[in-house]
Structures are given as structure tokens and as C-alpha cells.
């Protein structure tokens, strides 16, 4: 018994972590990130479902890692009321704000009018989560119905191959933001820099044993999943 009481446990050594990307040093993402943040006029606002934050592999932080600190903000939650989120209330009342969400009422982002002189750029609001989660957030928050609703077109399949997508037309958050900004800013380099970060993430995960996911198939509308079981499980 005395020998057991005198037994010394070896201290637990934590894996070294990169101070920038916050990933273990052995799978540091920084070689795939821009040395300097991309200089853009637009500002990105990400509304993130709480469950998305807990996923080990997500892409919202790739957006933040590629853009200046003052050009990307993340709000976490399901309901965004004017009282609790006054900044979003003001933001969604601005004529310079657009919401990226596909639907019958959405216009192609390439058809968004140019801003008048003196206005730096658009405020781009993006919902982050699974398609079921994104749909739930968009449908349950009236303030998201105020700005112009926009969608992407002819984007091709997602390159976020380590996570399933509902259809071949669906993109991850970083891909959606990359395509949208490249149109709003009229700069293809913005898309390439952000896509390089995503490709790097996928490569690191695949090298560590992740597998390539197939595209899911949904019977109803092409842009978002509508199965009741999927909806309920993601709320």
C-alpha cells in the first residue's frame, strides 16, 4: 500500500499548438493560409448555429484566418432578436447589406448592383451550419428577411470532400464566402486564396485518415434538404 501511495504519476505533456491556426503543430494549417490577410472592401458576418461550433472540422475559421480582423465577425446562436443583437438589427436594416441564402426570392450575386461612390463595400451575411440548421436559422429570424437575398450560381461541386454535402450544388461556408467575395470585389484572387486554405485543410485531414464523403441525395428541392428526419435531428 505504501508503495502505491508513493507512486509518482508522470506529468501529462500537451501537444504543441500553433499560436495562429490553433491546430497541433504536426498538422499546422498556416502554410496554406495567406501571409497577410486579404485586403477587401466588403465585410463578412457569419451567423453560426451552436452545433456547428462543436464540430471538429468546420470552415468558418478559415474565413476568419484569411480576412482582416475587422472584416469578419461571427455571431453564435439560433435566434437573433433585435433586442439581444442590436448590431445585427442595424446591419440588416442597411441598404448595403445582403444575405447569402438560396431560394425563389434570391437574385444571383452577379446581378447585385454596384455600390455608389463613397460606400466601401457590401455587408455580406452568411449562415453557417448544416443545410437543415441554416434553413432553420433563416426561416426563424425575421431580420434576415429585410436585406436583399442573394444566391450563387454555376459554382460546380464542393471541394470540401471530407464532409458530406446535400447536393452537387451545395458549398461549404468558406467556399460560399470565397465565391461571393470574388464577385463583389471583382477579384478572382480572393477565391483562390481562400480555396487554398480549404484544400490544405482537406489534405491534412485526409493524410491523417479522413475519408472522402459522397454527395447526399435529396428527393425534394435542389438547394436545401427538406427531409423531416434531417430537419429534426439538426435543430
Q: What is the pLDDT of residues 185-204, one digit of tens each?
A: 999 999 999 999 999 999 99
Length of the chain in residues, anyone?
235
Scanning the chain, the segments in alpha helix (DSSP H) are: 2-5, 50-53, 60-66, 86-91, 131-140, 173-184, 188-207, 228-234
Grid coordinates of 182: 470574388
Instruction: Average the pLDDT over 105-117 and give the result.
Output: 93
Grid coordinates of 106: 434570391
- Please spell the DSSP secondary structure of 163-208, one letter per residue: S--SSTT---HHHHHHHHHHHHTT-HHHHHHHHHHHHHHHHHHHHT
Q: What is the pLDDT, as a whole number, of residue 231?
A: 42
Q: What is the pLDDT, as a whole number, of residue 214?
A: 74
Q: What is the pLDDT, as a whole number, of residue 200?
A: 96
Q: What is the pLDDT, as a whole number, of residue 226?
A: 32
Confidence of residue 183 (pLDDT cuts 50, 70, 90): very high
Enclosing H/E stretch for 98: strand 97-100
How many CB atoms within 10 Å of residue 165?
Answer: 20
Q: pLDDT tens-digit profile of 61-99?
A: 999 999 999 999 999 999 999 999 999 999 999 999 999
8 Å CB contact between 221 and 171: no
Confidence of residue 225 (pLDDT cuts 50, 70, 90): very low
pLDDT of 108 higher than 60: yes
Amino acid at each position: 500500500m505504501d508503495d502505491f501511495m508513493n507512486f509518482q504519476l508522470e506529468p501529462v505533456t500537451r501537444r504543441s499548438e500553433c499560436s495562429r491556426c490553433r491546430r497541433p503543430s504536426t498538422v499546422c494549417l498556416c502554410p496554406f493560409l495567406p501571409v497577410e490577410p486579404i485586403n477587401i472592401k466588403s465585410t463578412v458576418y457569419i451567423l453560426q448555429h451552436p452545433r456547428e461550433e462543436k464540430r471538429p472540422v468546420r470552415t468558418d475559421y478559415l474565413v476568419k484566418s484569411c480576412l482582416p480582423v475587422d472584416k469578419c465577425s461571427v455571431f453564435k446562436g439560433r435566434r437573433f432578436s433585435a433586442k439581444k443583437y442590436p448590431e445585427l438589427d442595424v446591419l440588416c436594416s442597411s441598404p448595403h447589406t445582403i444575405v447569402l441564402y438560396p431560394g425563389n426570392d434570391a437574385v444571383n450575386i452577379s446581378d447585385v448592383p454596384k455600390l455608389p461612390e463613397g460606400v466601401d463595400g457590401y455587408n455580406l451575411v452568411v449562415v453557417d451550419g448544416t443545410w437543415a440548421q441554416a434553413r432553420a436559422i433563416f426561416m426563424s429570424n425575421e431580420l434576415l428577411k429585410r436585406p436583399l437575398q442573394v444566391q450563387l450560381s454555376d459554382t460546380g461541386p464542393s471541394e470540401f470532400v471530407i464532409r458530406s454535402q446535400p447536393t452537387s450544388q451545395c458549398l461549404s461556408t468558406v467556399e460560399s464566402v470565397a465565391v461571393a467575395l470574388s464577385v463583389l470585389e471583382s477579384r478572382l484572387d480572393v477565391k483562390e486564396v481562400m480555396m487554398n486554405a480549404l484544400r490544405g485543410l482537406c489534405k491534412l485531414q485526409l493524410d491523417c485518415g479522413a475519408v472522402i464523403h459522397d454527395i447526399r441525395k435529396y428527393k425534394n428541392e435542389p438547394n436545401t434538404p427538406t427531409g423531416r428526419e434531417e430537419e429534426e435531428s439538426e435543430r
